[in-house]
Amino acid sequence: MFTRRFTLFRLFGFEVRLDLTWLLLAVLVTWSLASGLFPTLTPGLDSRTYFWMGVVGTLGLLFSIVFHELSHALVARRYGLPIGGITLFIFGGVAEMTREPENAKTEFLMAVAGPISSLVLALLFYELYVYTASDVATPLNGVAYYLGLLNVILAVFNLVPAFPLDGGRMLRAALWGWKGDYRWATRFAARLGSGFGLLLIMLGVFAFLTGNVITGMWWFLIGLFLRGAAGMSYQQLVIRETMHGEKVARFMNPHPVTVSSNVRIQDLVDDYIYRHHFKMYPVVDNERLLGCVSTDEVKKLAREDWHRRTVADVMDRCSSDNTVTPNADAMEAWMQMSRTGASRLLVEDRGRLAGILSLRDLMRFMSLKFDLDQSPKGMPGRAGRG
């Protein structure tokens, strides 16, 4: 889902990150506000004023999305659900749960918190709009109107009962509570989400063909995203059930190729990367795990420095992003890889290297298990149960 991300700030203990795709959204929103909406709402102002109104409106959009996702995160934390952070990307934002809710009530309360928070913001911005309405041509009045309307749209759109939108999560919670079957509820809500995404795609194509190019493009892209996210959500559920109770120690390679911190970069390339064909290597000195070195760090160095610099100069130290323990839940390790974009994790046990966990090994296990769980034709099997 995400490309490259960087941290903006921490809020109530949650790390708020910005995906690079959000910058494209910011440029498009600023341009459309400055050239279209604000000149219509507040005529008679100069172009520079409209530009800064567009910038403030875009910052207000960022604030509104963070406020919406923060409400999800706070409710999740209230019920003991770990949140990996909040990420803003081109289609909005997401509070990254590392574990699904344990019951329908928690799911519903966490989902409904988002639209409620957006409606609260809409009311506050509406009050600001009314307060500044004595002179409708003021920049503040136009921005307040836009942000109030924006938050109403965010609330209403997210209430659509199409997973993974908040309304779809609320529907899943209701179905879950009714039937007591989490997997069936997820599949049903995800199918609605996929259908809604298809509807947006068709509306986008229609709008594009009738001359509304920008509107059609956005509907089409949002539809594609919703269809993909709905399908991915159900696949993640199946993966979670498949890996339930499995520990990292079962999948790790206990005898990985390691490198010392005093190895020159040129030797690392010649004797390790070109020989073993891995992109990442654990750095171990005297049986102590120091971190890891990858081809990404090597590529940052000029080739003439490869003979002078050592692994110690470029390696990444051990952190929560690149290490797990042998007894860690394999599904949580999978989520960690998805969150950080890493394909290999160091398995650390009391400061020593216990092994390497690779995404390829996890995928191979799931492929084999899916294959073995399939029953002969005409016979009911585990994979077909809802």
| Whether 253 contacts 278, CB under 8 Å | no
Three-class SS state of 306: coil
Domains of the chain in sequence order: 5-242 (no CATH), 250-356 (3.10.580.10)
Query: One of 69, 96, 107, 297 is an active-site residue; which one?
Result: 69
Rounded to whole angstroms, the Cα distance separating 48 from 258 reads: 58
| Whether 65 contacts 89, CB under 8 Å | no
| Whether 349 contacts 323, CB under 8 Å | no
69 is catalytic: yes
Three-class SS state of 279: coil
Q: Is 307 annotated as a binding residue?
A: no
Tens of each residue's pLDDT in the chain, 386 residues: 445 677 888 888 888 888 888 888 888 889 988 888 889 888 888 889 999 999 999 999 999 999 999 999 999 888 888 887 888 877 777 877 767 788 899 989 999 999 999 999 999 999 998 888 765 558 888 899 999 999 999 999 999 988 888 999 999 999 999 988 888 888 898 889 889 989 999 998 998 888 887 778 888 888 888 888 888 777 777 777 777 778 899 889 999 999 999 999 999 999 999 999 888 899 999 889 999 999 988 998 988 999 999 999 999 898 888 899 999 888 888 878 877 778 889 999 988 999 999 888 888 877 776 666 554 444 333 333 33
| Whether 114 contacts 165, CB under 8 Å | no
Rounded to whole angstroms, the Cα distance separating 298 from 105 reads: 49
In this prediction the pTM is 0.70
